[in-house]
Structure 1
Amino acid sequence: MTVGGIVLAAGGGTRLGGRAKALLPHRGHPLLHTVVAALTAGGCDEITVVAGAYADDVVAACPPGIRTVVNPRWAEGMSTSLRAGMDATTGHEVIALTVVDFPGITAGLVRTVLAAHRPGTITVPMFGDRPGHPVVFDRRDAEAAAREAVGDEGARRFLAGHRDRVRRLDCTGLADPGDVDVPGDLALLDRRDVTRGDT
């Protein structure tokens, strides 16, 4: 089984005053590096980063060996980035999907979710009653989720339509589930202890 990781990093960051979330400083480097490093160390065989707004800067910030794809339709919503990512990610039986604004992601979390995944299911890490990332799909399901996605909903429509196959995995303590939407969010996350799932 090989795993393709997809990082959705195409948004315009409008609630952050027009700043690219992927490029926000986090522990001494761009936030994108935190996410890519966790996916790589957690077991993904290949990583694809989908850029859109600020594409040149996001692509330039990607670590060596990371596949990048530019979504020219990023302003139409996350659904177009999901499709762009799937189109660029070939040859993998399993897909691990995450957004870039999930700074609490750790290699330990990724390993746990991948190890728990079973064929025919969609594995969603849960932090209490809050879902997080990465969401792990069989390739066929990831392709279907990309086809069905509309606007800015990402894979939510597909997950809602296949609740019987969604496996909610308790990952409390493996990562901080906070995301980054407004300027103060990243600073708050930096002050929390999110090291427990790093190994």
Structure 2
Amino acid sequence: MSTAGIVLAAGDGSRLGGRAKALLPHRGRPLLHTVTTALADGGCDEVIVVLGAYADEVAAACPPDVTVVVNPEWSAGMSTSLRRGVGAAGGHGTVALTVVDFPGITAELVRHVLTEHRRGTVTLPVFGDRPGHPVVFDHADAVAAAQQATADEGARTYLARQRDRVRRLDCTALADAGDIDTVGDLRRLEP
């Protein structure tokens, strides 16, 4: 069964002073490259990047082997980007969903979550007691999560409603789950 990795990268970075998180420098390249490389090297057959704000600049910096999807409704919230990404992943049986502002993602983490995923469940990596990414869905569950999402919540409502089917996978030893939301979070980036 093939897997699509979906990177939600459409936001305007307003809490970060209004800049594209995807283009933040990390390990000598844009953060977007860290995330897409981890998905591809971790076992995703296709990597889909959903863009919105700064779409032209970020698209120009995208690795050539990713599928770029532009969400013209990005300002209505993450739910619209989730729907665009899942719609673009229609030919895949499994979806690995992540956000672009997760510098701790590695191929090892992605590979572990994909390997441990069981059909009929949603695999949610947890870091200590904190849920994180990439969340792995069977395609039908990804579609349902996208349909139920509203505003800026992403897949949270679906995960809460399907709590008995969500498999929490301890990944504490595999990554720092911190994301980049504010200027104070920039310390998580490696030069």
What are the ranges of 5 or more consecutive residues in structure 2 without an aligned counterpart? none
How far is 1:189 from its partner?
Answer: 4.3
Task: Provide the residue aligned with 1:104 in structure 2.
Answer: 104
C-alpha contact 2:90 2:139 (8 A) present in aligned 1: no
How far is 1:65 from its partner?
Answer: 1.4
Whole-Å Cα distance in 2 between the matches of residues 67 and 149 of structure 1?
23
Task: Provide the residue aligned with 1:42 in structure 2.
Answer: 42
How large is the Cα RMSD of the aligned pairs?
1.0
Task: Provide the residue aligned with 2:140 in structure 1.
Answer: 140
1:79 paired with 2:79, answer: yes
Whole-Å Cα distance in 2 between the matches of residues 128 and 35 of structure 1?
21
1:175 paired with 2:171, answer: no
Letter in structure 2 aligned against 1:11: G
1:61-80 alignment runs, 5 A limit: 61-80=61-80
Taking structure 1 as the reference length, the TM-score comes to 0.94
What are the ranges of 5 or more consecutive residues in structure 1 without an aligned counterpart? 192-199
Task: Provide the residue aligned with 2:188 in structure 1.
Answer: 188
Q: Which runs of 4+ in 1 moved over 6 A?
A: none
Letter in structure 2 aligned against 1:94: T
How far is 1:183 from its partner?
Answer: 1.7
Task: Provide the residue aligned with 1:16 in structure 2.
Answer: 16
Count of residue pairs brought into register by the alignment? 191
Taking structure 2 as the reference length, the TM-score comes to 0.98
C-alpha contact 1:97 1:136 (8 A) present in aligned 2: yes
Task: Provide the residue aligned with 2:118 in structure 1.
Answer: 118
